[in-house]
Structure 1
Amino acid sequence: MWDDDRDGRREHEGLARALDESGTPDGRVWNGHAWQEWDSWGETGLVTFDLHPGEPTALRAECQCVWHGEARAVDGDPASTAAAVKADWEQHIATVTAAMYPVDVADEMADLMSRLYALTQEQPLAALTALRELEQKIEPLRVATVAHSRHLSLSWQKVADALGVTRQSAWEKYQFAGTGADVDAAYAKAAPPAS
């Protein structure tokens, strides 16, 4: 199995799954040296297959996140085919982790949400004020970040994927990003607080 452990996360594990002549996963994986029976993802329990007799005819990369790559024919040496499907998985990892933020940021966001929830219970009006101010800071920062992403020549599709919206929606809302006074104003509003 292949692991991706960026920033302390273990969200993606991959393997080279054996396929039979019909393209059906047959319950074996190539472990780098030999075929090994592996009928399910042990940690998720999401995928189980019946074991099939005979030699696998193809391999594909699979990830614990349920992504899988294209089938690649086994040409005598499963190790060379496994190297190709591992490259498919590594491309998948590069794509999905491009927008992954560091664990310390996730921890700080979780801490902020916990504090805001507690404030909601104790002082609801103060919590509403804090949420309003947070919203006023987020959108300008988002505009500045889209502008910077476009300045780095990232596609509208990649920006949209990171925002969790369609490409068209991202373009319609942020097409001005990267030009003129609107971005300058967004940077000014999004500036970090003085220490």
Structure 2
Amino acid sequence: MLSPMEEDPAMWDHYLDGHREHEGLARALDESGAPDGRIWNGHAWQEWDSWGETGLVTFPLRAGGPAALRAECQCLWHGPARTLDADPSVTAAAVKKLDWEFHIAAATVAVPPRDFEEEMNDLLSRLYALVQDRPLAALGALRELEGKIGPQRSVAVGCARRQGESWQKVADALGVTRQSAWEKYQFAGTGADVDAAYARTTPPTP
């Protein structure tokens, strides 16, 4: 069995900022809908009984031929079962386009750029060091940071809503329920509250 990290036409790769973030494939299912230890590699069935990178999921080979396919990602997400077409490549193309690509769009829409994430990690490391050396100064820095983050969050929600994003997508990005997001930010997209939030979020000087 090939490692998922090896180049293989069966794999669907997704890159973000030049780094591979997700990897998918078309998993065989038996007549009961149970996952099988085979995948469709573009031209034939291939044994692939586990995700080598995670070690968390294994699939035994099952008697009989596959009856359906589902899209599957190394992050352990999987899509719905889709009955096999006469040509499995047709079904594999469908689960990739309709299910896996939808999963990738949802999984990456709220992921910050890698360089921004690195800068945030650097700031957190500096805050941690400041906490150890000068805890009162760290509290002052945190107070100032929190005072800027709240308005920025309101602005971000307002921008997302103005661009047509749904409350569910906003809630997913915030890590809260749709109801909680709406209750807290229902003004977003219109009104003086958003204008006031903008007024409090002057960009920092370089």
The amino acid across from 1:14 in the alignment is G
Q: Please give the alpha-carbon distance, in whole angstroms, between the structure 2 residues aligned to 1:179 and 1:26.
A: 51
- SS across alignment from 2:147: helix
Q: Please give the alpha-carbon distance, in whole angstroms, between the structure 2 residues aligned to 1:180 and 1:27.
A: 55
Give 2:113's aligned residue: 102
Q: Does 1:80 align with 2:87?
A: no
Q: 2:71 aligns with which of 56, 61, 67?
A: 61
Q: TM-score, normalised by structure 2?
A: 0.91
- SS across alignment from 1:61: strand
The amino acid across from 1:61 in the alignment is A
C-alpha root-mean-square deviation of aligned residues, in Å? Answer: 1.1
Give 1:39's aligned residue: 49
The amino acid across from 1:65 in the alignment is C
- Offset, 1:184: 1.6
- Offset, 1:84: 0.5
Q: 1:183 aligns with which of 159, 181, 194?
A: 194
The amino acid across from 2:113 in the alignment is P
Q: Does 1:4 align with 2:26?
A: no
- Offset, 1:53: 2.6
* 1:8-157 to 2 correspondences below 5 Å: 8-87=18-97, 88-157=99-168
- SS across alignment from 2:200: helix
Gaps of 5+ in 2: 1-10
Q: Please give the alpha-carbon distance, in whole angstroms, between the structure 2 residues aligned to 1:6 and 1:171.
A: 30
Gaps of 5+ in 1: none
- SS across alignment from 2:20: coil
Q: TM-score, normalised by structure 1?
A: 0.96
Q: Please give the alpha-carbon distance, in whole angstroms, between the structure 2 residues aligned to 1:9 and 1:125.
A: 39
Quick one: percent identity of the two aligned structures? 73
Stretches of 4+ moved more than 4 A in 1? none
Q: Please give the alpha-carbon distance, in whole angstroms, between the structure 2 residues aligned to 1:193 and 1:101.
A: 19
- Give the number of equivalent residue pairs: 195
Q: Please give the alpha-carbon distance, in whole angstroms, between the structure 1 residues aligned to 2:36 and 2:191.
A: 57
Give 1:164's aligned residue: 175
The amino acid across from 1:156 in the alignment is W
Give 2:3's aligned residue: none
Give a deviation string over 1:83-124, Cα, whole Å, max 9, x none.
Answer: 011111011111211111100110000000000000011111
